[in-house]
Amino acid sequence: MTSDTVFVATCDLAAQVRGRSVPAARHDQVLRTGVGWVPANLAMTGFGAIADGHGFGSVGDLRLLPDPAASLDIPADGDTPGTRVYLAGQTGLDGTPWPGCPRAFLIGALEELRAATGLHVRASFEHEFLLGGQSGHPPFSFQRLRAAEPFGRDLVDALTAAGFEPECWLPEYGPGQFEVTLCPAPALVAADRAILLRELVRDLAARRGLPVSFTPIADPAGVGNGVHVHFSLYDAEGEPVMYDAGAPGRLSPLAAKFAAGILRHAGAVVALTAPSPVSYLRLTPHRWSVGGAFLADRNREALLRIAPTVGIGGADPAGQLHLEYRAADATANPWLVLGVLVKAGLAGLAAGEPAHVWPEAATEADLAGEPSIPGSLTEALDALKADDVARSWFPGELIDTFTVVRQAELAAVSGLTAAELCEKVAGVY
């Protein structure tokens, strides 16, 4: 390898990538035995403190064991040395998965889905972020795209070199807002790439002298940054199973049952996917974020949206049709986001009742009776606490520490105005 160092990392409950760096000469050994880690590190908040009440104390030892398939090479650039980043599972000293590991949670959820149904998931995370140094250029415009060069070119080149399959890079609606998407991939790969993509964007922006933030919202009156999660289900033979030409929204009964589980447990799910105090400034009606916990065909106010398919050139709709979950943002851990969607979907399959599909023509009046999602992080955490089924999906070490971390973050921002809150969180993400 040509990198000077190896950084072995996990993504924690505050969606921060943390770990340990070792010299490149130790690369092969680190792949075999990992690096040291501490259980209490799971309780770190986004603001850097270890939350009180985490239950681990000062004892215990773990290993961060790298997955060779989950890596990113960041080449040397001027005076900035190169490094290789590995995402790792948190394990015991004997290599067995630790119950508090968010990556192990997703792996377990995917295995449970496969064992129970034979199904597997492909997914993609659609990231929006704010790039500084951009001003006065219209939304979606060619001028804004070009004004961000060479950052855009360098980002696409870096994603391509990493094998991440960039799909789209575009100027978005909000001032200085951009979006980057990757092609769909197997669920674990998609979540790993989502984590590494954020770090690549931040690293590249820093090297170009540009401030960047994935914050859910930087201005209470402004446009928010979402992380829309696109996912589809496939059978053991690799055939898509979500399309049914004769069904409402062309969504198969199996997919509608999967969706029903997510909607039934929406309050608890949202606590995991939008876990910041500022997340709920974005998740309000008429922002094209989430207007309610319903499933709808091509409606950007739905918690679950049936994404459109393209018929141009004879393209097959069966391989295109998928669901888009719209209540996630970059304060959430992608492993937990996909894991909780899979767990909720499994619950829906077990219950056997398909979700109602609202047509694209449904009006706001039609949707008025649909339940809302939590209006604050406090409400979301209360919904999670009250949902015994959802809590049962998680090892105690994981869900209890998640709750402690998020309550500590709420305490840390108590008394701030909405504008002050946005500024504090934007600096972290």
142 vs 155: CA distance, rounded Å: 17
Q: What is the pLDDT of residue 135?
A: 77
Among candidate residues 39, 70, 97, the one where a domain is terminated: 97
- My answer on whether 378 and 289 are in the same domain is yes
Average pLDDT over residues 251-280: 97
- pLDDT band of residue 170 (cuts 50, 70, 90) is very high
Look at residues 303, 269, 270, 295 and name the one whose alpha carbon lies nearest to residue 354: 295
Structure tokens at 238: 């690799």
Q: Which domain holds residue 36?
A: 5-97
Arithmetic mean of pLDDT over the chain = 95
- My answer on whether 77 and 125 are in the same domain is no
- My answer on whether 187 and 335 are in the same domain is yes
- My answer on whether 207 and 78 are in the same domain is no
Q: What is the pLDDT of residue 291?
A: 85
- My answer on whether 202 and 346 are in the same domain is yes
The CATH number given to whatever domain includes residue 253 is: 3.30.590.10
- pTM, full prediction: 0.96
Q: Is the pLDDT of residue 396 over 70?
A: yes
- My answer on whether 247 and 121 are in the same domain is yes
Average pLDDT over residues 373-399: 97
Share of the chain above pLDDT 70, in %: 100
- My answer on whether 299 and 415 are in the same domain is yes
Q: What is the pLDDT of residue 1?
A: 60
Q: How many residues does the chain have?
A: 429
- My answer on whether 248 and 270 are in the same domain is yes
- My answer on whether 356 and 423 are in the same domain is yes
Q: What is the pLDDT of residue 284?
A: 87
Average pLDDT over residues 140-146: 95
H/E stretch holding 375 reads none
How many CB atoms within 10 Å of residue 124?
A: 23
Do the beta carbons of residue 212 and residue 148 sit within 8 Å? no
Number of domains in the chain: 2
Number of H helices, E strands in the chain: 13, 15
The CATH number given to whatever domain includes residue 70 is: 3.10.20.70
Strand bridging mode 185-186 / 292-297: unpaired
197 vs 164: CA distance, rounded Å: 9
- My answer on whether 58 and 131 are in the same domain is no
Q: What is the pLDDT of residue 58?
A: 85
- pLDDT band of residue 242 (cuts 50, 70, 90) is very high
- My answer on whether 119 and 197 are in the same domain is yes
Q: What is the pLDDT of residue 2?
A: 65
Among candidate residues 97, 128, 156, the one where a domain is terminated: 97
Among candidate residues 57, 77, 97, the one where a domain is terminated: 97
Phi-psi region of 136 (alpha: psi -120 to 50; beta: other; left: phi over 0): left
Q: What is the pLDDT of residue 136?
A: 82
Q: Own/partner pairs for 320-324, CB < 8 Å, 24+ apart?
A: 321/232, 321/240, 321/242, 321/243, 321/250, 321/251, 322/184, 322/230, 322/231, 322/232, 322/242, 323/230, 323/231, 323/232, 323/242, 323/251, 323/255, 323/259, 323/295, 324/228, 324/229, 324/230
pLDDT digits (tens, 9 = 90+) for 307-323: 999 989 988 999 999 99
Average pLDDT over residues 402-406: 97
Average pLDDT over residues 241-268: 97
Q: What is the pLDDT of residue 263?
A: 98
- My answer on whether 132 and 90 are in the same domain is no
pLDDT digits (tens, 9 = 90+) for 355-367: 999 999 999 999 9
Do the beta carbons of residue 167 and residue 183 sit within 8 Å? yes
Q: What is the pLDDT of residue 178?
A: 97
Structure tokens at 210: 């540009």
Query: Residue 297 forms beta bridges with which residues?
Result: 306
134 vs 171: CA distance, rounded Å: 11
Share of the chain above pLDDT 90, in %: 91
pLDDT digits (tens, 9 = 90+) for 85-120: 999 999 999 999 999 999 999 999 999 999 999 999
pLDDT digits (tens, 9 = 90+) for 29-63: 999 999 999 999 999 999 999 999 888 988 899 99
pLDDT digits (tens, 9 = 90+) for 190-203: 999 999 999 999 99
**Burial of residue 280 (number of CB atoms within 10 Å: 0-12, 13-18, 19+):** buried
Average pLDDT over residues 181-187: 97
